[in-house]
């Protein structure tokens, strides 16, 4: 069952035991990701949160997450348009094999997702490093499991000026089913919602880089709340 959170939590890293493998440089391979994603996160000290320090020149990655039908694209597009930020639609980075599986009602496995998650992380880093003067990016990604979020959490350790924020959208399963059923021309059918809910690991209290929003309400309200919270964080960093 989906958990619902309404209040944001502060950001702060922890420092677990250094992992034996320095997997960050080889994180792009499926074999490494399948066997060592937790070691990668541990070796960089993520342990459920990404590094963050207040600074006026931070490169912010705003990652809108949640299961199919929660409104990720709608919220992310509004955020990007309102703040004139680059927008990365995570669904567009799935390889054809993944899209074919989902189109045929076959759930993705962990192995199907590793390279996709890595590609999204690398694309977000590319967008904030392309020299156009905009030091933020908005990204959508379901990030259903904690270890999927940990793949993205490695980003600030490639660039210590990066500040990562997960915006988790939580909704009742029936709301998700209704929204997905109403979508036209998308490869993710309503029958796939339950498969996502079956593996969903909602963010826990120690995942301190996550801001959670209940979306069992009009999406216009959600969009306004998310934008207000993001602007507040940006203003705090600039203060």
pLDDT tens, residue by residue, 143-196 = 999 999 999 999 888 888 889 999 999 999 998 988 887 776 666 666 778 889
Segment holding 147, helix H or strand E: helix 146-153
Burial label for 24, CB within 10 Å (0-12, 13-18, 19+), is middle
What are 60-112's pLDDT values in tens digits?
999 999 999 899 999 999 999 999 999 999 999 999 999 999 888 899 999 99
What token pair was written down for 135? 């030091």
- pLDDT confidence of residue 21: 34
Higher confidence at residue 14 or residue 145?
Answer: 145
Mean pLDDT of all residues belonging to the chain? 79
Give the pLDDT of residue 239.
72
Q: Is the pLDDT of residue 115 over 60?
A: yes
Beta-sheet pairing, 210-214 with 162-170: parallel
Task: State the pLDDT at residue 153.
Answer: 95
pLDDT of residue 56: 57
Distance separating alpha carbons of residues 51 and 44, to the nearest angstrom: 10
Strands 210-214 and 136-140, sheet pairing:
unpaired
CB 222 within 8 A of CB 213: yes
> The tokens of 77 are what?
């597009």
Does pLDDT of 20 surpass 80?
A: no
Whether 54 has a pLDDT exceeding 90, the answer reads no
When pLDDT is averaged across residues 115-123 and rounded to a whole number, the result is: 96
**Residue 109, C-beta contacts closer than 8 angstroms, at least 6 positions apart:** none
Backbone angles phi, psi at 206, to 5 degrees: -85, 0
Note the pLDDT of residue 15: 32
Query: Any idea of the CA torsion for 88, 112, 203, 90, to the nearest 10 degrees?
Result: 10
Residue 18 has pLDDT above 50, yes or no: no
Closest CA to 63 of 129, 155, 130, 133: 155
What is the pairing mode between strands 136-140 and 162-170?
A: unpaired
Helix (H, G, I), strand (E, B) or coil at 123: helix
Break the chain into its structural domains and give their ranges.
Answer: 23-238
The pLDDT assigned to 102 comes to: 87
Domain 23-238 has CATH 3.40.50.1470: no
Cα Dmax for the chain = 50
**Residue 10, pLDDT score:** 33
Contact 63, 168 (CB under 8 A): no
Q: What is each CA distance from 160 to 11, 132, 217, in whole angstroms?
A: 15, 19, 37
Nearest partner of 149 among 67, 5, 48, 60, judged by Cα: 48
Q: Average pLDDT in the 127-153 region?
A: 88
Average pLDDT over residues 186-208: 86
User: Which residue carries 């680059």 as its tokens?
Assistant: 86
Q: In the numeric block, which tokens belong to residue 22?
A: 């320095």
Is the predicted pLDDT of residue 43 greater than 70, yes or no? no
């Amino acid at each position: 069952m989906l958990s619902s959170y309404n209040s944001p939590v502060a950001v702060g890293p922890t420092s677990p035991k250094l992992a034996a493998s320095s997997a960050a440089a080889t994180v792009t391979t499926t074999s490494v990701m399948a066997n060592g994603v937790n070691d990668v996160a541990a070796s960089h000290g993520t342990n459920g949160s990404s590094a963050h320090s207040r600074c006026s020149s931070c490169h912010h990655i705003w990652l809108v997450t949640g299961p199919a039908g929660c409104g990720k694209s709608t919220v992310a597009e509004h955020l990007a348009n309102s703040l004139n930020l680059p927008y990365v639609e995570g669904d567009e980075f799935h390889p054809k094999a993944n899209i074919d599986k989902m189109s045929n009602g076959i759930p993705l496995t962990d192995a199907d997702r590793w390279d996709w998650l890595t590609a999204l992380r690398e694309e977000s880093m590319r967008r904030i490093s392309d020299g156009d003067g905009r030091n933020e990016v908005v990204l959508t990604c379901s990030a259903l499991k904690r270890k999927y979020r940990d793949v993205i959490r490695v980003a600030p350790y490639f660039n210590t000026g990066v500040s990562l924020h997960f915006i988790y959208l939580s909704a009742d399963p029936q709301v998700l089913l209704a929204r997905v059923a109403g979508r036209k021309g998308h490869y993710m059918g309503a029958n796939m919602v339950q498969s996502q809910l079956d593996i969903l690991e909602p963010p826990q209290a120690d995942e301190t880089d996550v801001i959670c929003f209940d979306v069992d309400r009009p999406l216009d309200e959600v969009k306004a709340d998310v934008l207000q919270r993001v602007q507040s964080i940006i203003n705090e960093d600039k203060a």
